[in-house]
Structure 1
């Protein structure tokens, strides 16, 4: 059985409301991820988490999980100096999330979890604000915020370091799901590059090049492996399953 909400017919969608549906909204951004990883890295990770969580809960006696069409465009100002960055404004992103979740709630689909893997401050801020706006409207929307301390502590050392854009962490996840999209020869030749992205962002830096990421990556992509990606997906999926269960409590 497909886990995709959009694969349902209209009568099937109506029948879904008779169960306890939780809908997952994968979010990301189309932006540069070094010279080796695809522009679609962030949406790919979000979609991979959603698929794994839906698989894990396929036989759950209480909850029925469906995956909404992905919202793949986000705020991409940091990567705008590179080809392939396709950005929308924070206002547009926030409005899209509010309107999508409001439309679903009006039809009786009141349990939605936003699953995001793009961490540009304005992008994350827009998602957090959208969830608050929905709450103010009486629509309780889940948001799996991977930047919260408790979530960060369950992920890899590179992710915790903050030097992880298109590095070992993200590249491993792509290798686990879509290895054919990684230029492994280029990946293997990339030197490790330490950039404290949270500190740079906090200091007001607004672009990869300004941070010293002249090839749109930091971290250690050459150390990436599919095995690590599979392990990390396990951790991410566990976090998402917990967020799903929070929606039905």
Structure 2
């Protein structure tokens, strides 16, 4: 028997680890591994492009080594980066600076240009024809991914400001989870859509659908009571509605389930 709420104690321990320097260092290292793996794979591809398929000369060894080095580095780096990002932010698929896709595209673009320059090609050759489109395309995609990530972070900051405003002037009421996906037996977390019914200040029954994320111990079931924070001046504005655990009262509580 304990005099301390174990769920609250677990949350406190997890919150104390957020933003830990060791996770920041791990994110930098794993991100570099992603970029390196993608760069080696792209350089390998351009190295193959420089080979004359009719030559009898032995191929330069780097293209073959690319599969041995690049692909494992890319996969392991991706898994590690995703895991450390979750420990750093406390949220799945939430990256403090740039995500693995941007790192992969940026590393691939860099390696692609190096490969196109002929560094990993057979002696005296370099890719011809339209092979330059590979690094050029990766460069464009990396820039678009970087811009998209920056826009997403700007929207998240704006959402946090709105949440703080609604916490001051809004209402918190009890809602009912009317639909939520089932979690697979082997999964520890769920990303999906929840449907919640609540009644606003005017007595109008409303339903709101929100994409969310839940750890297994916190996952509500259909029929469970949840907390709904909404703006009484605009109860139908889904951008000003947040869903949280039944005891949610703070910005941290209501942002815990949000993507």
Superposition TM-score tier, normalisation by shorter sequence: under 0.3
TM-score, scaled to structure 1: 0.24
More helix by share: 2
Q: Name which structure has the greater RCO, CA cutoff 8 Å, separation 6+.
A: 1
Q: Which has the higher strand share?
A: 2
TM-score, normalised relative to structure 2: 0.23
